[in-house]
Chains A and B, each alone.
Chain A
Amino acid sequence: MTERAMRLVGNRPPQVQARERVTGEAQYVDDLAIPGLWHGVTLRSPIARGRIVEIEPDPDFDWSRVVLVDARDLPGRNVLPLILDDQPVLAEREIRHPFEPVMLIAAPDRALALEARNRLNLRYEAKPIAVEISDALEARVKVFGEDNVFKQIDIAKGDLEAGFAAATIELERDFWTGPQEQLYMEPQGMIAAWEGDQLVLRGSLQCPYYVQAAARAVFGLEPEQVRVIACELGGGFGGKEEYPSLLAVHAALLARKAGRPVKMVYDRAEDMQATTKRHPSQTRIRAGIDAEGRLTALAVDLVLDGGAYCTLSPVVLSRAVLHAGSAYACPNVAVRGRVVATNTPPNGAFRGFGAPQALFAMETMMDLLARAAGLDPLEMRRRNALRAGDETSTGQVLEQAAAADVLERAAEAADFRARRELYDRPQTGSIRRGIGLSLIMHGCGFTGAGESRLKGRLTLDLDARGEQLLVQVRTGSTDMGQGMRTTFKQLAAEILGLELDEVEVAAQDTALVPDSGPTVASRTLMIVGGLVARAARQALTSLGLEEGAGAEALRLALAGRGRLEIEEVHEPPATLFDEDHYRGQAYPSWGYACTICEVEVDMTTFEPRIVDVVTCQDVGRAIHPGIVEGQIQGGIAQGLGYAAFEEVQMHDGAMVNANFNRYIVPTAMDLPPIRVLLHESGQGAGPFGAKGIGEMPVDGAAPAYVSALAQALRTSFRELPVTPEAIAESFLRPRPGKADA
């Protein structure tokens, strides 16, 4: 196939809805004006584990003005369907985590609903709790089954003991990461309305068909009886993947009982306390390297804290174990991953989805191995980076691997070697400096055989019946700020030979669009965007036209039939990955990224400052470079927050710093300009060789930051986040085992 010059792919057109976003006209769920709307709030459990004795309504309150819902109002089973069907819609007798929803209240205004909630007295008997990973593993308190293990996954390759026998240096270290809050700027929100026997749900949500499936199961409805509309979405980052299903069912229960539409919008504290977070982790790595510094054996034992219910934890675990070896070749690997149950609110999807935890541990281990071998971090990675033809831990042979390319380009742009050497020299004075790097790979798309089960669909509709040719892309993928609508328009217009404004993307409304699979896992451009390209090419083929035909040719070709609708389905063979043995092609494409971070630390206050960030990321092809750079910069900012600022403080399983002034995320003053180099290998599985880019940028930021900090302070850190307090503590009160080499 000859390469055609591209008109739109690679350009930076203004994004769809950008004008509405900067003028304030964009309609987020809480901006909708719906007549007769009531407001719903949630009564939550104040304890981590126990038994509900009674809920006493205050006899002095006029209860006729409000509507109350508890588990008895459910039409069928009290289960929110997901992987294990273990989570109740509302707690009935047993409480398993703090802030667990127990009762719902709706009233004509929010103030009255909150007043009513204050007049409900929840009496309970508390029981012993398990809130740390270590509590869960001891299993004295049983939160799930006999051993508190939701899921275990093992990967084995080669001969581990032979690998260790061949090693000249062997190290074993433990690593810990804390929870992280997604902190989308728009809190969770949903409006439910029963219109006849149809339930209409409008909300801030990533996955309309997940919400539809949950509502159908709880209310026993047919697909067409549940219409789900994704409003303009004020950020998601995974936090609006599974959680909106629960909120939708709550709002629908209230709306049904109140006989009118009900809106539930969480305030910030409730959103932070009650909704999902990134899984905390603890990881033990034992690794061996030979005299040249090459990995000979790698054993990883990783445990994630899933919280009280399973939610998506097994899938998060799957991604964690598949990323445990980072972007390195190693012939002998054993990975054991477990996700355990504790009495904390369920953890769930968050950009990176298990990979950031595993990669922080492995990348930090690589620095420790480099130090033991007398190599610098760059040279250590050069010697181990995966190359084309190498095999991953599951035996996936890589046709393309840009690990070494992104490493060299980033290192050159940051002048890494010279600066590393400079900061290795003795430093005196009140400011200490360091520079660190990370090299990671991120699997694009759903893990393993996931895509074969999802069977994502997309429709392209060409209509020449009116004066204008109308081309519409219909997808259930949502746009949460990552630019889906703009990118899909570019793809369709590029192939059909149209201008951008000649293509429209239909609203994300289940009444209008097919199920394209969830908007998660860096799969939207690569998988669903691939369907856009396929559908456009299929349309041209069936009309007997060449690629880039243009509006006039399409109108003429359509003259006879008026309209053409193409449906494409993504159905990869399920045989590519063996889920029982974790062998085979785990992802259709892997992206590669090197991130370099430079810091300085004020030795009087232990306050760190991030001075420079440079990253080179293999994105396959940047369909819209402005969107791609924005994804990378924003992802790195989140990763640096994870590393340096964002500490979820827990007490008895409950988040106690649930607001913006105690849970600190980076502001404009905390970050330097993030310098992005796009590596366009053109070899991704997506359209025009694109790879998924949504999550990868988060992965490498924390280890790069910690690596820089370790050099500046001549120590190492093996626990995230490394707050200024943690830095001070490492000097003033060193804790054996947690901050040594």
Chain B
Amino acid sequence: MKVSFRLNGETRSIESAPLDRLLDVLRRDLGLTAAKEGCGEGECGACSVFLDGVLVCSCLVPMAQVRGRSVETLEALTRPGAPLHPLQRLLIETDGSQCGFCSPGMIMAGVDYMRRLARGEVEDDHEARLRAIAGNICRCTGYTKIVEAIDRAIEEAGP
């Protein structure tokens, strides 16, 4: 079937089976490999993308659901050579990315929280910040430095 959707701000139209996973289409057909497959069942968060602005695990999204909608991946956050998103920069500064495999999904989850915060949709506290990334498994860092990066990014963004 033909699926037309918005991808990182551009309209795309591709041939795809209805049950093809969005993750495979992004990685295999469109060459966007920032989203990773860590588990394939929506438990680890490494494949996180935005679908109509909502954070989803792209391994759980069949292409039939993507038709006419808008997909945003980590690639859209920073164009090559452009300055990084503050959370990306702070993840580097705090050494909050070790092997890096969870980092794309972790950043999407952190950015999702910061956007919801800016829209006034969340009651911001330490617990809420932890909950925002609790669906993203990191096996390297113990999360301490990732949480520090998120705290600093929110602080920088100001009230």
* Given A19-B92, A234-B101; A24-B142 close (CB under 8 Å): no
Beta-carbon contact of B147 and A185 below 8 Å? no
- Quick check: is A17 within 8 A (CB to CB) of the other chain? yes
Beta-carbon contact of B140 and A481 below 8 Å? yes
How far does the Cβ of A150 sit from chain B's closest Cβ, in whole Å?
A: 29
* Given A185-B99, A186-B36, A659-B39; A633-B75 close (CB under 8 Å): no
Question: What B residues does A232 contact at CB under 8 A?
Answer: 100
Closest chain B residue, CB of each to CB of A627 = B95
Size class of the contact patch on chain B? 35 or more
Q: Give CA–CA (A38, B80) in the complex, Å.
A: 30
Beta-carbon contact of B97 and A21 below 8 Å? yes
Question: What B residues does A659 contact at CB under 8 A?
Answer: 39, 41, 43
Choose from A15, A26, A268, A638 the contact partner of B139 (Cβ within 8 Å).
Answer: A638
How far does the Cβ of A442 sit from chain B's closest Cβ, in whole Å?
A: 18
- Quick check: is B143 within 8 A (CB to CB) of the other chain? yes
Q: Give CA–CA (A107, B77) in the complex, Å.
A: 36
Beta-carbon contact of B130 and A185 below 8 Å? no
Pick from A310-318, A497-505, A668-676 the stretch touching chain B. Answer: A668-676
Q: Give CA–CA (A31, B95) in the complex, Å.
A: 23
Q: Which secondary structure characterizes the binding site on chain A?
A: loop
How far does the Cβ of A20 sit from chain B's closest Cβ, in whole Å?
A: 8
Q: Interface code B132-145, partner A: CB below 8 Å = 1, 0 otherwise?
A: 01111111111111
Q: Give CA–CA (A638, B155) in the complex, Å.
A: 29
Choose from A18, A26, A637, A674 the contact partner of B92 (Cβ within 8 Å).
Answer: A18
- Quick check: is B94 within 8 A (CB to CB) of the other chain? yes
Question: What B residues does A636 contact at CB under 8 A?
Answer: 142
Beta-carbon contact of B98 and A667 below 8 Å? no
Beta-carbon contact of B140 and A630 below 8 Å? yes
Closest chain A residue, CB of each to CB of B145 = A630
Choose from A18, A234, A674 the contact partner of B144 (Cβ within 8 Å).
Answer: A674
Question: What A residues does B104 contact at CB under 8 A?
Answer: 22, 24
* Given A31-B33, A660-B39; A12-B141 close (CB under 8 Å): no
User: Which chain A residues (89-117) contact chain B, with CB distance < 8 Å?
Assistant: none
Question: What B residues does A236 contact at CB under 8 A?
Answer: 99
Q: Interface code B77-107, partner A: CB below 8 Å = 1, 0 otherwise?
A: 1101000100010011111111111111001
Beta-carbon contact of A669 and B141 below 8 Å? no
User: Which chain A residues (1-57) contact chain B, with CB distance < 8 Å?
Assistant: 12, 14-15, 17-28, 30-31, 33
Q: Give CA–CA (A26, B36) in the complex, Å.
A: 11
Number of residues in A with C-beta < 8 Å to the partner? 58
- Quick check: is A267 within 8 A (CB to CB) of the other chain? yes
Choose from A26, A30, A630, A666 the contact partner of B98 (Cβ within 8 Å).
Answer: A630
Q: Give CA–CA (A298, B34) in the complex, Å.
A: 53
* Given A24-B74, A185-B46; A630-B141 close (CB under 8 Å): yes
Beta-carbon contact of A671 and B101 below 8 Å? no
Choose from A14, A25, A482, A660 the contact partner of B137 (Cβ within 8 Å).
Answer: A660
How far does the Cβ of B106 sit from chain A's closest Cβ, in whole Å?
A: 9
Beta-carbon contact of A22 and B134 below 8 Å? no
How far does the Cβ of B12 sit from chain A's closest Cβ, in whole Å?
A: 18
Q: Give CA–CA (A78, B136) in the complex, Å.
A: 41
User: Which chain B residues (34-86) contact chain A, with CB distance < 8 Å?
Assistant: 34-41, 43-44, 46, 73-75, 77-78, 80, 84
User: Which chain A residues (461-482) contact chain B, with CB distance < 8 Å?
Assistant: 480-482
- Quick check: is A235 within 8 A (CB to CB) of the other chain? yes
- Quick check: is A237 within 8 A (CB to CB) of the other chain? yes
- Quick check: is B158 within 8 A (CB to CB) of the other chain? no
How far does the Cβ of B29 sit from chain A's closest Cβ, in whole Å?
A: 11
Q: Give CA–CA (A232, B78) in the complex, Å.
A: 20
Beta-carbon contact of B139 and A634 below 8 Å? yes
- Quick check: is A221 within 8 A (CB to CB) of the other chain? no
Beta-carbon contact of B91 and A268 below 8 Å? no
* Given A24-B74, A268-B40; A481-B133 close (CB under 8 Å): no
- Quick check: is B131 within 8 A (CB to CB) of the other chain? yes
Beta-carbon contact of A23 and B142 below 8 Å? no
Choose from B36, B91, B93 the contact partner of A185 (Cβ within 8 Å).
Answer: B36
How far does the Cβ of A87 sit from chain B's closest Cβ, in whole Å?
A: 27
Q: Interface code A176-193, partner B: CB below 8 Å = 1, 0 otherwise?
A: 000000111111000000
* Given A23-B34, A669-B134; A630-B143 close (CB under 8 Å): no
- Quick check: is B31 within 8 A (CB to CB) of the other chain? yes
User: Which chain A residues (136-184) contact chain B, with CB distance < 8 Å?
Assistant: 182-184
Beta-carbon contact of B34 and A185 below 8 Å? no
- Quick check: is A661 within 8 A (CB to CB) of the other chain? yes
Q: Give CA–CA (A481, B140) in the complex, Å.
A: 8
Contact sample, A vs B, 29 pairs, CB 8 Å cutoff? A14-B93, A15-B97, A21-B103, A22-B104, A23-B34, A23-B78, A23-B84, A26-B100, A27-B33, A30-B27, A31-B27, A182-B139, A185-B101, A187-B37, A268-B38, A483-B98, A626-B94, A626-B95, A630-B98, A633-B143, A634-B141, A634-B142, A637-B141, A637-B143, A638-B142, A660-B43, A660-B137, A667-B133, A674-B144
Task: Tell me the B residues contacting A by CB distance below 8 Å.
Answer: 27, 31, 33-41, 43-44, 46, 73-75, 77-78, 80, 84, 88, 91-104, 107, 130-131, 133-147
- Assuming A22-B84, A234-B99, A268-B39, what are 12 further A-B pairs, CB within 8 angstroms? A19-B84, A22-B100, A23-B84, A23-B88, A182-B139, A184-B99, A235-B101, A268-B41, A630-B140, A634-B139, A659-B41, A671-B144
